[in-house]
Amino acid sequence: MWSDLIASYGYPILALGCLLEGETVLLLAGFAAHRGHLNLAAVFGVAAVFGFAGDQIAFWLGRRHGGWMLGRWPRIARDSERVRALLQRRHALAIVLLRFAYGLRVAGPVLIGMSDVAPRRFALFNALGAMLWSALFSGLGWSFGAAAEGLLGKAHRVEGYVLLALLALAVLAWALARWRQWRRGGA
């Protein structure tokens, strides 16, 4: 059952997840690749391409509608000073590393789009960051699969439970982050 679902919908779900904040879906795809349900090279490629595309879209939204977005989403406005400070010091490094900064995965490219960073420069370092990000998180998912197999042996019956547990942890982490954000007064 799980393998059929993953084989049918794994790559489209991965692509959609990587357009947004896709760390969790990429970890799960790496895990599924270790279990033989997906191809690790394809997971890396899909994640890198769609992670790159998602940040390019966010960059251009920031370039064209940044002022409106700052007014509409206070969280982006709150993050703007952190991103500006990073960009002033080293914007090539900031473009690559903002992808890895919790809470700045979407806001970062929007704010960079509002800055004076040239589109080609952003695209170049965004591509590098997308490849590093894809390699890291798909590799972590693969490694988690290897560790789980080492602990559990070839217990195929538990892989669905492991995937559900990972998904539950991801939902819990997301809910906790939203609750903390709500407690601080921003939604």
Element (H, E) at 65: helix 40-72
pLDDT at 118: 93
pLDDT at 45: 95
pLDDT of 128 above 80: yes
pLDDT of 143 above 60: yes
pLDDT at 2: 63
The residue ranking higher by pLDDT, 107 or 138, is 138
pLDDT at 96: 92
49 pLDDT tier (thresholds 50, 70, 90): very high
pLDDT at 17: 86
62: which 2 tokens?
Answer: 């920031």
* CB of 111 closer than 8 Å to CB of 81: no
Q: In percent, how much of the chain has pLDDT > 70?
A: 92
7: which 2 tokens?
Answer: 């084989």
pLDDT at 42: 94
Each residue of 51-108: pLDDT tens digit?
999 999 999 999 998 888 878 877 777 777 777 877 888 888 889 988 888 777 778 8
50 pLDDT tier (thresholds 50, 70, 90): very high
pLDDT at 186: 56
User: Mean pLDDT of all residues in the chain?
Assistant: 83
pLDDT at 122: 95
Domains of the chain, by residue range, sit at 2-184
pLDDT at 163: 72
Q: Is 153 helix (H, G, I), strand (E, B) or coil?
A: coil
Q: Which residues contact 32 (CB under 8 A, 6 or more apart)?
A: 6, 10, 38, 43, 141, 145, 163
Each residue of 145-159: pLDDT tens digit?
888 777 766 655 666
Mean per-residue pLDDT, 16-22: 83
Distance CA 59, CA 115 (A): 10
Buried b (16+ CB within 10 A) or exposed e, 8-24: eebbebbbebbbebbbb
